[in-house]
């Protein structure tokens, strides 16, 4: 099935749940869904279209909102699902009931952006150190690090 | 009686800091907890402050073994954003270095697997052969690791006739030596018996947990980015995807050995078919706003970079997911029901490149809460004696 | 007399501990490659040991990540005196490309005292062996 045929089938099948489907390059589809439809669309893609492989989940800080992109791929084409959640209330449901392999990527999103993923089986921090001060989310655009003074042994600072 | 034993972060088995906390009951592992973060260097934030060209050198240093894969994946993506196409000769040289890197990485892994199984001579042999590949890479690019041969729009250095002849000669020697290793594998029953049946991962688990690379291919799930999403030259050369059906460490060794042979074939095709022409085109300083998803088959699995540009000369967002991170849930699954003695081997079998995975093993007694620290070298010694005293599995077969 | 014997044996055959504090692995693979038949440091008596308590020399690589900082200090204290530290690779010297990242201290000498610096990205095995030999020559 070529990309254009696939887009037509998806539009007919998912209808209102998918706000837009972009096709910027061969084998790359970008679908936009609302946060509350995320689990329904993912389940449908897994059951009907055979989309089982999740490559990763990226988070982007867009100022007022956070954008989350789920990168799936099949041997024929790549599906990238995009949702947006408001910065003031960053909640999103976890897709681990549908795709168990998503757990580490969602934990990383929690660490780096401060998003709250509901329903995670294991919500501990993943990559930040044990003595990291709480409330600091490094990948937010407004977070800057103040470096402590470096002491060069045997020389001038 | 359950115990929990910590392994790491400093231990001699893995050259990288990682902490594994395992809950064990006697000799059998019931649960594993992996603590990452010892290698977390904050690169995604740092990448937003550097220009497109500076980021090539930053991204290369995510990992020392697969440095070219990260650099190439990044450069592929940015070239799409900037809408430039490198000339054919540049692309052939770039992917020739990729295949040489795959050879060096698989030879390195074969040595490490032999070392974990107690077969130290094999380790020395494969690393001696690896020096041939390092010399070839140094001849092409100037450095043994971190080749820095990529630039936006092509490559930086060219290959001449003398170098081409040396590459072909080096690959011929390596092919003869690799075939000797397969002979060892087929005729050394203790080595095969040691690794057969260890670290079982069924095909359904591999699919559900999104495993990548040789770990997934050894469970019979044939996914290879070079075949599905052929970038640049891979739809012009001829090769096969290597799979195995035994779902254990033996299958992973077989898959990597098959991939070595395929890589030799690919290198010869690329060197003989090298087209004439320029090696690079000029790239603009700023990239148009947009986003791109770039995928690449690194020696350990699928490497994916998601790059977003906003019209300036610095990226808006660079997201890197290296292959080893995708294999962690699968590793936890493999370690459950395994023996403590097999921990170094199972963990080494996914070819861990923890520096790629962002970058840090504890056994905790789940009954009394006691913690005891066991060194990886003790585990390895225990494993070797245990398997020396166990009866040899006579029906384990080398399926090549 | 016994002191002279101990000093002679320490110089002739130093036992080495390899410490990775968050590096990209290139320097670590070059340290391991120094054991392989091409460079072969074992003929000089240099052994790679597994535990800090047996080692004379610590070969450290990597920019120090925040998580590893306390662990490095703990390992340094476990090595018995007299001990020497060699910082290998540009990351261990000053942080290399990671300078300025939020999780990086910026070089091994911010955490433990260093006796010898071996530059390179990654440092070649020949340079590492040269560094160890020069350090021992100064003793």
For chain C, which residues make up each domain, given as ranges?
10-137
Same structural domain for residues B374 and B284?
A: no
* Tokens 């977003």 belong to residue: B308
Q: What is the pLDDT of residue C27?
A: 85
Contact predicate B30/B336, CB 8 Å:
yes
* pLDDT-derived band at A77, boundaries 50, 70, 90: confident
Per-residue pLDDT tens digits for A53-70: 888 888 888 888 888 999
Q: What is the pLDDT of residue B72?
A: 92
Mean per-residue pLDDT, A89-93:
85
CATH level 3 topology of A3-118: Beta Polymerase; domain 2 (3.30.460)
Residue B395 lies in a domain: no
| C102 near A CB under 8 A | yes
Lowest-pLDDT range of B285-299, B328-342, C85-99: B328-342
Q: What is the pLDDT of residue C97?
A: 82
Per-residue pLDDT tens digits for B131-159: 889 999 999 988 888 888 889 988 998 88
- Where in the sequence is the domain holding B355, given as residue range(s)? 2-39+336-389
* Coil, helix or strand at residue B21: strand
Q: What is the pLDDT of residue B11?
A: 58
Mean per-residue pLDDT, B14-39:
70
The C-alpha of B18 sits at a distance from chain C's nearest C-alpha, in angstroms, of: 10
The C-alpha of B11 sits at a distance from chain C's nearest C-alpha, in angstroms, of: 7
Which of B6, B14, B39, B67 to substitute to test the interface with C, most C CBs within 10 Å? B39
Same structural domain for residues B25 and B52?
A: no
Q: Which residues pair with B15 in a beta bridge?
A: none
* Coil, helix or strand at residue B57: helix
Assess whether pLDDT exceeds 90 at residue B322: no
Per-residue pLDDT tens digits for B119-132: 888 888 888 888 88
Assess whether pLDDT exceeds 90 at residue A153: no
Same structural domain for residues B207 and B60?
A: yes
Mean per-residue pLDDT, B2-10:
65
Mean per-residue pLDDT, A144-151:
67
Which of C67, C102, C109, C116 to substitute to test the interface with A, most A CBs within 10 Å? C102
Residues of A in contact with C110 (CB under 8 A): 150-151
Assess whether pLDDT exceeds 60 at residue B88: yes
Whether the link from the prior residue into C122 is cis, omega within 30° of 0, is yes
Q: Considering B286, B301, B323, which residue would you say is the last residue of a domain?
A: B323
Q: Considering B323, B347, B365, which residue would you say is the last residue of a domain?
A: B323
Q: What is the pLDDT of residue B166?
A: 92
Total structural domains within chain B: 2
The C-alpha of B79 sits at a distance from chain C's nearest C-alpha, in angstroms, of: 23
Q: What is the pLDDT along chain C (139 residues), one digit of tens a residue?
A: 788 887 777 777 888 888 888 777 888 888 888 878 888 777 777 888 777 888 888 888 888 887 778 888 888 888 888 888 999 988 888 887 887 777 777 788 888 888 899 998 888 888 888 888 888 777 6
Assess whether pLDDT exceeds 90 at residue B224: no
Interior angle at CA A105, CA A99 and CA A110, nearest 5: 120
Assess whether pLDDT exceeds 80 at residue A49: yes
The C-alpha of C129 sits at a distance from chain B's nearest C-alpha, in angstroms, of: 16
Of the ranges A102-106, B36-40, B84-88, the best mean pLDDT one: B84-88
Say if the Cβ atoms of C65 and A129 lie within 8 Å.
Answer: yes
Q: What is the pLDDT of residue B364?
A: 38
* pLDDT-derived band at B173, boundaries 50, 70, 90: very high
Between B182 and B110, whose confidence is greater?
B110
Residue B399 lies in a domain: no
* pTM (global) more than 0.80: yes
CA-wise closest residue to B91 among B281, B286, B299 = B281
Same structural domain for residues B162 and B306?
A: yes
Assess whether pLDDT exceeds 50 at residue B359: no
Question: CA C80, CA C54: separation in Å to the nearest integer?
Answer: 8
Residue B299 lies in a domain: yes
* pLDDT-derived band at B29, boundaries 50, 70, 90: confident
CA-wise closest residue to A57 among B66, B325, B348 = B325
Which of B14, B45, B55, B61 to substitute to test the interface with C, most C CBs within 10 Å? B61
Write the CATH number of the domain with boundaries C10-137. 3.40.50.12280
Same structural domain for residues B172 and B239?
A: yes
CA atoms within 13 A on the CB side of B210: 28
Assess whether pLDDT exceeds 90 at residue B168: yes
Interface of B with C (CB under 8 A): 9-12, 15-17, 37-43, 45-46, 49, 57-58, 61-65, 67, 108, 124, 127-128, 130-131, 144-146, 353, 355, 359-360, 375-377
Q: Which pair of tokens denotes residue B123?
A: 């380790």
Mean per-residue pLDDT, B50-74:
88
Assess whether pLDDT exceeds 90 at residue B199: no
Average pLDDT of the residues of chain B: 79
Residues of A in contact with C106 (CB under 8 A): 150
* pLDDT-derived band at B17, boundaries 50, 70, 90: low
Mean per-residue pLDDT, B217-223:
86
Question: CA B350, CA B331: separation in Å to the nearest integer?
Answer: 8
Rounded to the nearest 10 degrees, how much is the dihedral formed by the CA atoms of C5, C7, C11, C13? 50
DSSP state of C53: G
Same structural domain for residues B130 and B236?
A: yes
Compute how many other C-beta atoms are within 10 angstroms of the C-beta atom of residue B169: 12
């Amino acid at each position: 099935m070529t990309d254009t045929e696939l887009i037509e089938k998806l539009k007919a099948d998912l209808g209102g749940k998918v706000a837009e489907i972009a096709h910027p390059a061969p084998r790359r589809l970008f679908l936009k869904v609302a946060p509350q439809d995320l689990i329904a669309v993912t389940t449908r893609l897994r059951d009907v279209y055979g989309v089982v492989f999740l490559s990763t989940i990226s988070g982007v800080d867009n100022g007022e909102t956070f954008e989350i992109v789920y990168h799936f791929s099949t041997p024929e084409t790549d599906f990238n699902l995009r949702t947006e959640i408001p910065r003031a209330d960053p909640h999103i449901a976890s897709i681990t009931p549908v795709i168990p392999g998503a757990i580490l990527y969602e934990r990383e999103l929690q660490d780096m952006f401060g998003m709250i993923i509901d329903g995670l089986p294991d919500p501990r921090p993943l990559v930040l150190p044990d003595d990291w001060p709480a409330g600091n989310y490094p990948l937010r655009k407004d977070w800057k690090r103040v470096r402590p003074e470096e002491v060069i042994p045997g020389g001038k600072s | 009686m359950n115990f929990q034993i910590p392994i790491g972060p400093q231990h001699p088995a893995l050259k990288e800091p990682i902490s594994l906390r395992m809950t064990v009951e006697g000799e059998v592992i019931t649960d594993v907890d992996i603590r990452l973060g010892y290698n977390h260097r904050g690169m995604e934030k740092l990448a937003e402050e550097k220009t497109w060209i500076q980021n090539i050198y930053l991204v290369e240093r995510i990992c020392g073994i697969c440095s070219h894969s990260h650099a190439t994946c990044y450069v592929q993506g940015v070239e799409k954003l900037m809408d430039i196409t490198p000339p054919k000769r540049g692309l052939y040289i770039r992917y020739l270095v990729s295949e040489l890197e795959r050879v060096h990485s698989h030879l390195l892994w074969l040595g490490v697997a032999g070392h974990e199984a107690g077969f130290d001579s094999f380790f020395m042999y494969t690393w001696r052969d690896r020096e041939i590949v390092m010399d070839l890479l140094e001849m092409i690019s100037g450095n043994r690791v971190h080749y820095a041969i990529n630039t936006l729009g092509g490559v930086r250095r060219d290959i001449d006739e003398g170098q081409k002849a040396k590459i072909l000669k080096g690959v011929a020697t390596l092919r003869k030596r690799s075939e000797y290793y397969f002979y060892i594998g087929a005729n050394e029953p203790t080595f095969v018996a040691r690794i057969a049946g260890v670290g079982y991962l069924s095909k359904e688990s591999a699919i559900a947990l999104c495993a990548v690379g040789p770990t997934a291919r050894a469970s019979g799930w044939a996914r290879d980015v070079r075949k599905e999403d052929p970038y640049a030259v891979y739809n012009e050369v001829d090769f096969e995807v290597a799979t195995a059906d035994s779902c254990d460490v033996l299958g992973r060794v077989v898959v990597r050995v098959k991939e070595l042979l395929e890589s030799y074939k690919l290198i010869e095709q690329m060197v003989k078919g090298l087209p004439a022409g320029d090696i690079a085109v000029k790239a603009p300083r700023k990239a148009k706003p947009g986003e791109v998803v770039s995928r690449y088959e690194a020696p350990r699995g699928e490497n994916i970079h998601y790059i977003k540009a906003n019209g300036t000369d610095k990226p808006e967002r660079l997201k890197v997911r290296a292959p080893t991170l995708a294999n962690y849930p699968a590793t936890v699954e493999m370690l459950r029901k395994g023996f403590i003695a097999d921990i170094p081997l199972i963990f080494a079998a996914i070819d861990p490149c923890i520096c790629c995975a962002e970058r840090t093993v504890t056994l905790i007694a789940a009954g009394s809460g006691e913690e005891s620290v066991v060194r990886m070298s003790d585990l390895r010694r225990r494993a070797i004696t245990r398997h020396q005293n166990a009866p040899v599995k006579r029906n384990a077969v080398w399926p090549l | 007399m016994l002191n002279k014997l101990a000093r002679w044996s320490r110089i002739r055959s130093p036992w080495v501990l390899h410490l990775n504090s968050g590096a990209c692995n290139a320097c670590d693979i070059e340290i391991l490659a120094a054991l392989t038949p091409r460079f072969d440091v074992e003929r000089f008596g240099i052994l790679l040991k597994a535990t800090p308590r047996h080692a004379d020399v610590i070969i450290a690589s990597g920019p120090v990540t925040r998580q590893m900082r306390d662990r490095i200090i703990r390992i340094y204290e476990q090595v018995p005196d007299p001990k020497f530290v060699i910082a290998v690779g540009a990351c261990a010297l000053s942080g290399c490309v990671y300078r300025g990242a939020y999780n990086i201290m910026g070089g091994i000498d911010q955490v433990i005292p260093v006796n010898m610096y071996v530059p390179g990205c990654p440092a070649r095995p020949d340079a590492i062996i040269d560094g160890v030999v020069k350090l021992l020559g100064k003793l």
